[in-house]
């Protein structure tokens, strides 16, 4: 089973499907897996994905964290959204960057994939709830690939900011994704808004 997970790490790995491969009921499979590996199935899969992603980022510095994450199975947020009645085309999503990749090593950059939820939303063990601070933001429309987005952020800081009369505020930058993401799915081109928190000089 461990070999099967290794071979399909970039794919969606659901407990029910893996239990079927192992010829166990989901309940017994999870208990046996934890007893044998010392980890829950979810923790084991996440650890392997993180380790493999970190290795790729160390070896290929020209790749973005988002590109590597999508290539290594971290695209299951859509499965979680659908299961809870959130439709991608109607839900506002945010990507919150907590570190500057020009300063922080790529493997240590923190990035939260978020979506707007109603006030009465109850989180489960897969997600946390947080609030994005309000205030003044400079906003740019971006269309391109995951590889292009860092260069777009760099242009915001190097070309727009110096003569804007503003300085970055002490709040995280984020990207806003509205409606369908893909402009050209085959080419990996998507659109979003780049949001930089600012305050007057």
In tens, the pLDDT along 157-166 reads: 999 999 999 9
CA atoms within 13 A on the CB side of 132: 24
- Total domains in the fold of the chain: 2
Residues 103 and 195 in one domain: yes
103, exposed or middle or buried, with CB in 10 Å at 0-12, 13-18, 19+? exposed
Residue range(s) defining the domain that contains residue 6: 2-59
Single pTM value for the model: 0.60
pLDDT tens, position by position, 46-56: 888 888 877 87
For residue 24, being part of any structural domain is answered with: yes
Mean pLDDT for the stretch of residues 97-119 = 81
For residue 64, being part of any structural domain is answered with: no
């Amino acid at each position: 089973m461990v070999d099967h997970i290794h071979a399909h790490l970039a794919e969606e790995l659901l407990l029910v499907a893996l239990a079927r491969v192992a010829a166990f009921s989901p309940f017994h499979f999870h208990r046996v897996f934890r007893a044998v590996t010392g980890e829950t199935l979810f923790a084991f899969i996440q650890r392997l994905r993180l380790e493999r992603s970190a290795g790729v980022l160390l070896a290929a510095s020209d790749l973005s964290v988002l590109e590597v994450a999508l290539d290594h199975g971290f695209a299951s947020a859509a499965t979680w959204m659908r299961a809870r009645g959130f439709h991608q085309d109607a839900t506002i999503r945010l990507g919150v960057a907590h570190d500057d990749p020009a300063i922080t090593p790529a493997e240590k950059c923190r990035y939260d994939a978020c979506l707007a939820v109603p006030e009465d939303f109850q989180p489960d063990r897969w997600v946390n709830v947080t609030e994005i601070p309000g205030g003044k933001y400079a906003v740019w429309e971006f269309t391109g690939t995951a590889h292009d987005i860092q260069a777009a952020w760099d242009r915001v800081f190097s070309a727009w900011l110096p003569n804007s009369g503003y300085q970055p505020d002490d709040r995280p930058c984020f990207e806003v994704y509205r409606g369908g993401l893909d402009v050209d799915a085959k080419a990996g081109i998507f659109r979003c808004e780049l949001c930089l928190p600012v305050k007057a000089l």
